[in-house]
Every structure is written in structure tokens, then in C-alpha cells.
Structure 1
Amino acid sequence: MTELTELLSELVRVPSVGGTPAEAGIQAMLAEWMRETGLEVDLWELPLERLTADPAFPGMEVPRERAYGLVGRLPGTGGGRSLMFNGHVDVVPPGDLAAWTDDPFSGRVEQGRVYGRGACDMKGGLVAALLAVKQLRQARLRGDVLVACVVGEEDGGLGTYGLLDRGWRADACVIPEPTGLAVVPANAGALTFRLRVTGQSTHAARRTGGVSAVEKFLPVFAALRELEAARNRDVDPLMHAWDLPYALEIGTVHAGDWSSSVPGELVAEGRYGVALDESPARAKAALEAAVAAACAADPWLAAHPVTVEWWGGQFAPARNPDPALTEALAAATGTEPARWGAPYGSDLRLLAAAGIPAVQYGPGDIDLAHAPDEYVPVDEVAQVSATLVRLATTHCG
């Protein structure tokens, strides 16, 4: 597994946090690897201004001056079905460095694991796909095999949106996100929102003369918790693996500008789970109604209602539209893999909306993604790569 661990460690050592120069730089590195491997390579600069202006653009949470798309193509001999492997190269920031055992981008190999930010989510899966395509060069398949390296998955789906805009398509797609070797044919959705709570500022020593925006946020927060509970009482059987399939969480709260003042405004941002088969518009309406009801029950908020803004990544829920692909992937594992719907959004919904059947299957535990000391087991990466080879052999002919 020397080639596997060396390539994975090399990619993890690239700090390709979304929106940073390294997110663009890793694409050039991967393009060179593809050329050396003998793939046809399409590396292009994404037209950010045009894409982000499109009403259907899925959202973006970090600024980008440049971003690149990348596809490697192993051409078939003709007459077979095509297969795409789609993996994102962007990673989330490492967070508190003190929580890590060593450098978050060390790419350390220890006890059969590769450590570092992005090892699990999802450079391990990407390496599995890259090595699968490399092995398939000897197979002389009839259908094309594509490996798409995309950016911006973590904050909306820019890369896959740009991939489809470029005109790339396939008859089926596997996304090697970390699923712990489970087959995942569906994703919940996730919407990013912002709340603005108005108070009335004054000196803290005379706080009764003002209105604390923090205090007025509390009934709104309670209403959101009640909404979350109601939305998780009766869920699709695919989501029974999770205690809270459609989570609603406030991730950031900012209020006031001085310690001895009553805060006159609070801004809270959060993430809101969308149920399978639920439209984002319906989900938004439910949250807006819950906020409005909380405001109506409070005299101050009734006169100064909380505003709701929808911004950043907007992930619709999605299902794989072709059960045959799910069955073929499960068969290719050579086992009886677990099957469930993921409680988070992914690029699956963009591919499915474009008419491309897509399923997630990859190495690593999703609980390790975005966490300190993130890692992926090397043997799982190898296992996924072998499964992708078997699937391509049967699917592409």
C-alpha cells in the first residue's frame, strides 16, 4: 500500500481549506498526477462571476478569487456505459490547533491510519477513486471512467455545479464520501440561515431602561428546538440510523459591542436540516413560521420581529433515482453493506438533479470528519478502491 499511503499523505499535507490558494493549487497537483497516469485531463478555471450570478447556484460561504475544475478521463473502447467518481478536494479549517496531537496537515501515517484534516473527508475516498482509475487502465472497458475533483463542496457545491456547467455527464456516479463502507443512496438537505434580533441598547447599570437582544433571543431559540423535535418525530426509514436525522443548530451568536452595555442587536447563524423529499421552500416556511410565532407571543418582538435570512450553502435533499446502481454497488463490495440515508447534504443532490444516478460509498467514519485528529484507515481506502474497480468492470462493460 505504499503508493496509496504516499499519495494520500501528500494530498493531506496540502492545506486545501475552502477559499484558500491551496484549494486551487491542489487541483494543479492532481492534474499533473492524472497526466502522468495516462488520463485525458480537463483543468479549467471556473467562471465564478457567471456561476454565482445564476439563480440556481447552490450557494457559497467563503470568498474565492479563483477556483478550478478538474476531470480525468479514461476513455473506453466504445459502446459501454460511463461511470464517474466524484470527490471534493476542499477541507474545513482545522479549528483549535491545541486540540490536535500534531500538525493538522501532517499526513502522518501511524498504525494503519493516515491522520490530518481532510484525510477522512474526503481525500481518502478521492485517493481510492484515483487508484481505481489507474488500475482500470489495463481493463479496456467499453465505457468511459471519469474521476472528477471538485472544489467548494463543503460550502455549497461550487465545484460540481461548475462541472455540470462545463458539460460533463456520466451514466452513473459514485461519491466516495466517508460512509464507513456503507452504501448511501440518499441525503438529507441542509440550509444555512441568519437571524437578526433587535433590542434597545443602554448602559448596563440601567439595564431596565433597555431591552437585551440576548434575552429576546431565548424564546426564539426555544421555538427552534421545539421545531427540531417536531420535524424528527416521524422520519423516512432510511434515516432510522440516526437519533436526530434533521438537526437544527445555532452555530454562531454575536451580540453587543461593549461589556457594560445592554446589547441592542444579536445576530445568530445556523444550520437547518431538510427532510428527504421535502422541498427547501417548505422547510424555510416552517422555520419562518416558528420564528414568527415566537415573536407574536412577546410584546417587544411582536413590535420588532426577528428577521430570517437565507444565505450560504443551500443543500436540497436527494435520493438516487436508479435503485439498480445501489444494488450494483452493494454487490461490488462482496459483502452485505449497511444502507442508510445521510443526515447531511452533499453533491449527490446536484448530480441527481442533472439526471445522473449517484450513490455515496467511501472509507472513514463520518464522526471523524471536521474533528481534531481526523484520520482514515488505510485498509478501508484500499477496500473502497477495489470495490470501485469491480463496479466499473461490470457497469462499463
Structure 2
Amino acid sequence: MKLNSSQQKEVLAFARQLVCEPGNSGDEEKSALLIEKKMNELGYNQVRVDPYGSVIGIINGSKPGPTILFDGHVDVVPIHEPDEWHHDPYGGEVVGDKLISRGSADMKGSVTAMIFAASYLDKEKLLGTIIVSASVAEELIPGRALEKILDEYKVDAVVVGEPTKLRLGFTEKGRCSISMTVTGEVAHSSSPELGKNAIYIANDAIRRIREIPVNSDPFLGDEVRELVELRSEPTPGYGSVPYYCWGLWECRILPGESEQALLNKFVSSQKGSEWEERIHFQFETIDIPNFTGTHLIGKDFLPAWREDKNSGLYKQMEAAVEKSGIPVEYEPIYYGSNALMSCGVKKLPTVIFGPGDVALAHKPDEYLRIQDLWKATKIFNHIMELNGKYTY
């Protein structure tokens, strides 16, 4: 398809409307209701908000075929540096060829493109079913909202619309968070020899973890193990040797790394330490309350994945991109997205593809080029038109 001027205007107008809703994780209700209303106006066959707040729209073709799901999250991160913004973070301003706003690139522009791409389909020519999901809470608990959708709907392939500069994301680092607890013995700080300082024990544990060999991948580079938080008790610690210390490690995982193998690396790093019995590790569990009153809860371990570029889904993606007149390029994905659930956990054929540059995500003056918004709408439409023409 080729977007006419009227279609270009309506796509941009809705993208501007959508980015004006803040919608931090768990508080996406206004965005969800806006999307639900728009999908109904655009003639989707079915539209609903699920128990966790995600909006699900379905387009049914007139002929049998597979079901392909297009997913994009509608939550955004809070504004941490308001003085660094030169534009209203939720103003939806158009300046030159850019839509400037929080969530424009990450990833309400992509969500908008998916919604309208599906509405422009000729249902009489469409094979199978198109599902568009506007999912929630991805910024704080990746994959879990999409997991609920995939548990309910039988899906044959998934397109996750994260910003890739319209390149095909074919592999992605996994992610997890591991907590470290250290038990010492309290004493008065004037007589520290009578206690065991949990911070000192933690320092030794940290050193040992940082000495674990780092593996590397030809596409994704080095795995990551980074200490992001450390706190002790009692606090404030005036007059006391700390008897407890807690640290949080965030990890970016390479393909092939299992949950147990990763945890074993942390545990094994402490072998031979005189403090070994005082140090414990476990995967964190994340619990996010949703605006619907439910909770998304999940262990924070999502494995890495890699897809075959010669598979049916990727041939379909290539054909759709080529039809739109832009070169086919591939992109390894270093951040965590909902694709970690659809492909890493559920093993469904998955590609990450969308407009915008992830380097702008979460930053002041985040923007999306309007031409890329329109290009994405056309490409998503072409992908949908090709549903059933390739074997997933």
C-alpha cells in the first residue's frame, strides 16, 4: 500500500494524541482506553482490554490461515531530568520532521503504525488472523503482559515493534536480576572485632563475582553482570557494625545460558571463601500492580534468543521491507523486550522491528521521525498482507 495524504494525517494525529498520555508502568489506563476506542472506530472485528490492562484488537481474514501477532508496549518511563527537556515531554510537538515526546520512539509510534496498518487491510484478501496487542508494564516487567496474551491466544508468529531503525532484530540478549544477601554479626562500631561487618564480606563476594570469566557472542558481544544497588542494615548505621548487606546484580545473558547455570556461576564464585555460608543468591521476583486491579508477577529471568534468517517469518519480513523500497538490514538487540517472552520462553517465531532509534529511548527530547512512522505503517501493512504466504 501507499499511504495517501489523508492516511498520513490520521496516523500522525493519533500518534500525537497517544504520546500526550504519560502512562508509566501500571498506570496506562488513559492510553489503553484511547487505543480501545480507536480500534473500534477503525473497524476491528474484536477489541478488548484484558484483565491486566493490555488492549487486544483482532482482524479476521476471509480465508483460513495462520495467526500473527503484532505487539507493542504503551507504558513509558518517568521523566527523570525535566530541566534537560527543551519541549514539553508530553506535548506531542511536531518540529520539522520529528515528533518530539516521551514514548514517541519507545514505542507509541510503532504501536500507532501497527494499529492503522491492520485497519488498512482488505479483509477479503487476507489469509488468517491479525492480532495487534498494546501491552502494559514492559518497562518494569518485560514479557509478562505478553505472556498473558500468548497464554490466551494461539499464535503462530510474533512481531515486536521496538525501535530498530526499521532493521530486522533477529537475536537478543536475555536479562535477569539476582539478589545477593550477606549475613554478618552486629557489634558496636567502637569494637568492630566483636562483630562481622557484612559490607566487608559483601566486598569480597563482589570481587569474586567480578572475576567470573565473561563469555562473548559474535553478534551480541559480551555478557553483562553489573552490581546496580547495595544497602546495609542497620541504617542509619551510627554506632553499629552492619549485620546485613543486600546487593542487586543485573545480568544480560547470551544465547544458551540457562537459569540454573547462571545461578551456579554466582554460587560457585564463593567456593573457598571463609564467608561462603553467609552469602546467598536468588533470582528476583517482580510484582507490578496494574490499573485494572490485578498484578503482573514473574521471576526476573528471561533467556536470550536467536532466529534463523532463512525462516519463513524472516523471508516474509524481507519481502515486506523490499516492497516498501528500503534496504533489508539486520540488527542484534542488546536491551530486553517482550520478544524475550515470545521467542526466548515460548519459542515462537519472532522478529523485532519498528521505527525509531533505541538510543533516544528514555532520554530528554526523545523523538521519532515522521517519515519513519509512515514507512513503518506501510511495512507493517505489507507484512500483514503476506500472512499465510510463508510457513512459520
TM-score class, shorter-chain normalisation, is 0.7 to 0.9
Q: Tell me the equivalent position of 2:22.
A: 15
Matched, 1:382 2:370: no
Distance 1:38 1:157 in 2: 28
Letter in 2 for 1:325: L
Note if contact 2:143-2:339 (Cα within 8 Å) is conserved in structure 1. no
With normalisation by structure 2, the TM-score equals: 0.82
Matches within 5 A, 1:73-112: 73-112=58-97
**Count of aligned residue pairs for this structure pair:** 361
Alignment pair present for 1:367 and 2:348: no
Other structure's SS at 1:101 match: coil
Shift of 1:26: 2.0
Q: Is 1:4 matched with 2:41?
A: no
AA of the residue aligned to 2:40: R
Q: Is the 8 A contact 2:267 2:280 kept in 1?
A: no
Q: TM-score, normalised by structure 1?
A: 0.82
* Aligned match of 2:320: 332
Q: Deviations over 1:190-237 (max 9, x none)?
A: 11221112334444455555443333322322333333xx233x41x3
- Displacement of 1:128 in angstroms is 1.6
Query: Paired residue for 2:276?
Result: 302
Comparing 256-265 with 84-93, which one deviates more in the overlay? 256-265
- Report the alpha carbon displacement of residue 345 of structure 1 after superposing the two structures with TM: 2.9
What root-mean-square deviation, in Å, do the aligned CA atoms of Structure 1 and Structure 2 show?
2.6
The answer to whether the 8 Å contact 1:82/1:170 transfers is yes
Mark the runs of 5 or more structure 2 residues left unpaired by the alignment.
1-7, 287-299
* Residue 258 of structure 1: aligned partner: 236
Partners of 2:209 and 2:95 in 1: CA distance: 43
1:320 match: 307
- 2:105–2:163: 8 Å Cα contact kept in structure 1? yes
Q: 1:43 aligns with which of 41, 48, 71?
A: 48
Counterpart-to-counterpart distance in 2, 1:302 and 1:350:
34
Q: 1:211–1:262: 8 Å Cα contact kept in structure 2?
A: yes
Output the amino acid matched with 2:315.
Answer: E
* Residue of structure 1 equivalent to 2:246: 267
Which sits farther off after the overlay, 278-287 or 307-316?
307-316
d(CA) in 2 for partners of 1:248 and 1:285?
Answer: 14
Whether the 8 Å contact between 2:23 and 2:76 is mirrored in structure 1 is: yes
Offset of residue 172 of structure 1: 2.4
Alignment of 1:128-277 (within 5 A): 128-137=113-122, 140-154=125-139, 155-166=141-152, 168-207=153-192, 209-227=194-212, 230-232=213-215, 234-235=216-217, 237-239=218-220, 242=221, 244=222, 246-256=223-233, 257-258=235-236, 260=238, 261-277=240-256
Q: Does 1:27 align with 2:32?
A: yes
What is the DSSP-based 3-state SS (H/G/I as helix, E as strand, rest coil) of the residue aligned with 2:356? coil
Residue-by-residue CA offset, 1:266-311 (whole Å, 9 max, x unaligned): 2222311221132222222222322x23xx33x3x23522444432
For 1:365 and 1:120, the matched residues in 2 are separated by 7
Whichever residue aligns with residue 120 of structure 1, its letter is A
Residue type matched to 2:328 in 1?
P
- What does residue 279 of structure 1 align with? 258
One-letter amino acid matched to 1:29? L
Distance 1:13 1:213, change over 3 A: farther
Residues 120 and 231 of structure 1: is their aligned pair in 2 closer, same or farther, counting only changes over 3 Å?
Answer: same
Q: Which has the higher mean CA deviation after the structures are superposed, 94-103 or 185-194?
A: 94-103
**Amino acid paired to 2:39:** M
Q: Distance in 2 between matches of 1:382 and 1:215?
A: 56
Question: Which one has the bigger helix percentage?
Answer: 1
Structure 1 match to 2:5: none
The answer to whether the 8 A contact 1:274-1:280 is kept is: no
Q: Is the 8 A contact 1:195 1:309 kept in 2?
A: no
Counterpart AA for 1:101: H
Measure, in 2, the Cα distance between the counterparts of 1:98 and 1:202: 45
Identity %: 24
